[in-house]
A = this chain, B = another copy of it.
């Protein structure tokens, strides 16, 4: 995402910086999140951080990117169960990110919080936008591969469009977090997958 100059990256240092940055982001939220403060707590020179992540937007997105890589799509041979689990993981991640920096006493359960700030960061910086879209492309490709395998098994119809199905499922979760402020959880994920599978036309 930014040019790599000088000494090669030290993966251990990167991992420590991103761990500290993640903790700070969750504890303090975006308003109080600064590259300088993360450098201080991680015990690393500020220049080291700025060389890798030129703004706090870049650093925050790197943290979220690492979190995304940890989400796995199960492959049990039952597409419905695998997609419910995948959507429930996305919902849990969005709920955690949404509440970053807000104490237990903060009762607002509708604001998109940090999720919205990250979406704005991706819209504001072309390089972050590219990075985020690449992350999502990779994750969506995994989900599409699962759906295609299920299509070969006859679990879903041969004329169904895997990319459209992902748009409908993941889209509903992001829409509720970012736009309508409605809650998302495993129960909602289950209803969502069942509704998208069944459609609404009379049988």
Contacts and interface: CB of A to CB of B under 8 A. Distances in A.
Interface of A: 108, 110-113, 115-117, 119-120, 122-124, 126, 129, 132-133, 136-137, 140, 154-157, 160-161, 164-165, 167-176, 178-181, 191-192, 195-203
A174 to B, nearest CB: 5
Contacts of A200: 156-157, 160, 165, 196-197, 199
Determine how many copies of this chain the complex contains. 2
A92 B122 CA distance: 21
Given A111-B123, A156-B201, A171 B175 contact: yes
Contacts of A196: 168, 196, 199-200
Nearest to A173: B171
A153 B30 CA distance: 49
A153 to B, nearest CB: 11
A161 B123 contact: no
A191 to B, nearest CB: 6
Nearest to A31: B124
The 4 closest A-B CB pairs, nearest first, are: A199-B199, A171-B175, A171-B171, A116-B123
Given A123-B111, A164-B195, A191-B164, A174 B176 contact: no
Given A116-B123, A156-B201, A175 B167 contact: yes
Contacts of A140: 180
B180 A172 contact: no
A117 to B, nearest CB: 6
A198 B164 CA distance: 12
